[in-house]
């Protein structure tokens, strides 16, 4: 299975929006590929409603959603129809019909202890097709879509500004929306940073410096 930093394997997939090439059809965009155990299941339904309601926020930051499970395309279509008819929520993103499990097996979404249902996996892929984040949840625990969106924004921000994001950025308890400067790679720079250590200054130590961006 691919790991963080690896390119997403090129795959031709059948979806509710027709045949697609991933990640090629998403070139230049961030891609959120997420799997769910099965159609017509309660937890998955709540997740799809949440993803749909957040879809415009993902699009605002240049990201596209695409779901996946080991179900046939007609099952996906019927489930999407059911959600719209009964929950008054339209699912705007495509869902991969991985009915033989090839994509799920390639990406490590099938865990032996869970049979042939996919776990709740999330892959964030950058505009070059590289995997930047992987999250796994068990079947019985639904995901936080807000966390997926937060992690995406953090990746985009740290890429652009060449910094690191602290826990729960931009709402860290003590750093708030400040970011972390990469640690120095030489002794001279480390000693220079020691001058900024102290109350009201930017550094807690030479290896732990922050800044407002």
- Give the pLDDT confidence of 68-123 residue by residue, as tens digits: 999 999 999 999 999 999 999 999 999 999 999 999 999 999 987 767 789 999 99
pTM given for the model: 0.94
What is the pLDDT, as a whole number, of residue 14? 97
* Domains of the chain, first to last: 11-143 (3.40.30.10), 162-213 (3.30.1020.10)
* Long-range interactions of 82-85: CB distance < 8 A, separation 24+: 82/40, 83/45, 83/48, 83/49, 83/52
Low-confidence ranges of the chain (pLDDT < 70): 114
What is the pLDDT, as a whole number, of residue 1? 83
- Separation of alpha carbons 38 and 95, rounded Å: 12
What is the pLDDT, as a whole number, of residue 199? 81
Task: Decide if 44 is catalytic.
Answer: yes
Strands 18-22 and 11-15: antiparallel
Element holding 43 (H helix, E strand): helix 42-60
What is the pLDDT, as a whole number, of residue 88? 98
Beta carbons of 139 and 114 less than 8 angstroms apart: yes
Catalytic residue among 44, 91, 145, 148: 44
Question: How is 118-163 classified by DSSP, letter by letter?
Answer: B-EEEEEE-TTSBEEEEEEE-TTS---HHHHHHHHHHHHHHHHHT-
Strands 95-97 and 203-205: unpaired
Tokens of 200: 């009201």
- Separation of alpha carbons 67 and 80, rounded Å: 12
């Amino acid at each position: 299975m691919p790991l963080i930093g690896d390119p997403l394997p090129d795959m031709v997939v059948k979806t509710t929006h027709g045949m697609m090439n991933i990640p090629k059809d998403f070139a230049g965009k961030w891609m959120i590929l997420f799997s769910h155990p099965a159609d017509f299941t309660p937890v998955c339904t709540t997740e799809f409603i949440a993803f749909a309601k957040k879809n415009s926020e993902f699009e605002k930051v240049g990201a596209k959603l695409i779901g996946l499970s080991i179900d046939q395309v007609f099952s996906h279509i019927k489930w999407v129809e059911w959600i719209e008819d009964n929950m008054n929520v339209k699912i705007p993103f495509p869902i991969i019909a991985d009915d033989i499990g090839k994509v799920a097996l390639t990406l490590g979404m099938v865990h032996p202890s869970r049979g042939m249902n996919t776990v709740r996996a999330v892959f964030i892929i950058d505009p070059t097709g590289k995997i930047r984040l992987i999250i796994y949840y068990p079947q019985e625990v639904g995901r936080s879509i807000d966390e997926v969106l937060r992690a995406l924004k953090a990746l985009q921000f740290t890429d652009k500004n060449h910094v690191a994001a602290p826990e729960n950025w931009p709402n860290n308890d003590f750093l708030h929306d400040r970011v972390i400067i990469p640690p120095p790679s030489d002794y001279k720079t480390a000693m220079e940073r020691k001058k900024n250590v102290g109350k009201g200054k930017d550094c807690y130590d030479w290896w732990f410096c922050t800044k407002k961006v």
